[in-house]
Homo-oligomer: A and B are copies of this chain.
Amino acid sequence: VADELDGDARAPARRRVVIVGGGFGGLTAARALAGADVDVTLVDRHSHHLFQPLLYQLACGGLSPAECASPIRGALRRAGNVAVLMAGAEGLDAERRELVLDRGERLPYDSLIVSCGAETSYFGRDEWSEHTFGLKTLSDAVGLRNRIYGAFEEAERAEDPRERRRWLTFVVVGGGPTGVEIAGELSIVARHTMKGYYSRIQPDQARVVLLDAGPRLTTAFSEQLSAKVAGYLAELGVTVRQGARVTAIDETGVTFEAGGTSEQIEARTVVWGAGVQAAGFTRVVAEATGAEPDRAGRLPVGEDLALAGHPEISVIGDASTLAGPGGRPLPGLATVAIQQARHLADGIRGGAPGAQGPFRYFDKGALAVVGRGKAICEIRGRELSGRPAFFTYLTVHMFYLSGGGPGHRVKVLVDWASTRVGTPQDQVIDGDLASVEATPPGARA
């Protein structure tokens, strides 16, 4: 402490930037501020940056946890002006400009960047979380992997045919990219990967059912691409039910209404890919600043990415909502958070408390992958599907995969893309682990 005071006395006070969250937005902001004339502290509950678009691969055994996540410290090792703190952000004193951590420590800031991301939303039916598997965190994905592979073991052991069928039925709720990707991959695992390993069961008797409330899958894409996706899923053996509104989920299965009648599917494994909401810290920010979150908990920001009346508090990525061209809110994509973070860092480097000038989103398009070698993609009005879309997907992911440096990125994607049916990369489940979640920082960066 004495040292720090001496330091303060000698040098003019440097501006302090505090970043909440080490996802795409937060990590990009910290990197973009490396070497700038500010002191940066990045706070995250976890020590790793997560590459969420590959989580479904982890859940299905195609990638290992270390291939979907990289240590935040590793990515920021050379940034001498950036400190990392593995801690939860729990309070905000907007008047004194202090972030309050989960052990009561206070971090004063001149600029606060809220990039805490999104979490699974059950639209008010939180009790469903007990009987479903979300897919937003590393623990979610490893838990789902345990369940998927455990389900085949349970089916092998079951004496009762009905119970066996329950264990071999997998229901995915939600027809967005996450639901589509996990349903396709699950069907590959059941029909190909598991073949020949069991004595009593035929794993390809497993059923994968995708329930979607809307009239067509992946509504962010055109009707034509949606139809392609439906075709790919049918080829993979996935049963898709459109217009299916889930009304109940318990340990025996899912009940839903479709076409005016109620049906039940008995299943032990239900994956929830139907919705997300902004992470809980946004509620803290809303209370402290008077900002009014939307129905999904997102904080409205202006074109300067700041909260109204608080130019020193910026909110980016999935935690925020901002109207794009034509008034439609910007999509919840990594590219949005990354571009916002860079724009913000430019402003702070220029001496402002936040962004300088309005943020303009450069639309890089959207992608979804179905099984191996098939994908859909839409880039500035152009549409791709099948293999060309798949290779675009690979290229884009290689570009954005954070952490490990080019060699690591190539390895992960080659591992994943070259994984043939029947040879998942990471097939060992770790069992019940300690609750500390930490990451060795001396990593691949």
Distance from A26 Cβ to chain B, minimum over Cβ atoms (Å): 17
Contact A157 B87, CB 8 Å, known A139-B431, A428-B69: yes
This protein's copies in its complex: 2
Q: Does the CB pair A73–B428 fall under 8 Å?
A: no
> In which size bucket is the chain A interface?
35 or more
Distance from A134 Cβ to chain B, minimum over Cβ atoms (Å): 12
Q: Does the CB pair B429–A441 fall under 8 Å?
A: no
Residue of B nearest to A73 (CB): B197
Contact A428 B85, CB 8 Å, known A440-B61, A441-B197: no
Distance from A366 Cβ to chain B, minimum over Cβ atoms (Å): 27
Q: Does the CB pair A444–B423 fall under 8 Å?
A: yes
- How far, in angstroms, from A70 to B429 measured CA to CA in the complex? 10
Cβ 8 A contact of A428, one of B77, B194, B436, B439: B439
Interface: A153 (CB within 8 A): yes
Interface: A126 (CB within 8 A): no
Interface: A93 (CB within 8 A): no
Residue of B nearest to A69 (CB): B428
Residue of B nearest to A199 (CB): B83
Q: Does the CB pair B440–A47 fall under 8 Å?
A: no
Cβ 8 A contact of A153, one of B47, B68, B74: B47
- How far, in angstroms, from A146 to B46 measured CA to CA in the complex? 12
Interface: A388 (CB within 8 A): no
Distance from A90 Cβ to chain B, minimum over Cβ atoms (Å): 14
Q: Does the CB pair B66–A433 fall under 8 Å?
A: no
Residues of chain B within 8 A (CB-CB) of A68 are: 428
- How far, in angstroms, from A439 to B145 measured CA to CA in the complex? 9
Q: Does the CB pair A431–B197 fall under 8 Å?
A: no
CB 8 Å contact bits of A421-445 with B (1 = contact, 0 = none): 0111111111111111111111110
Residues of chain B within 8 A (CB-CB) of A432 are: 139, 432-435, 437
Residues of chain B within 8 A (CB-CB) of A105 are: 159
For the A-B complex with A61-B440, A424-B440 known, give 4 more contacts whose Cβ atoms are closer than 8 Å: A139-B432, A147-B436, A427-B441, A430-B430
Can you show 18 pairs from A to B with CB atoms below 8 A apart? A46-B431, A48-B429, A61-B442, A64-B66, A66-B427, A68-B428, A86-B156, A103-B157, A138-B431, A142-B430, A146-B435, A423-B444, A424-B443, A427-B442, A427-B443, A427-B444, A429-B436, A429-B437
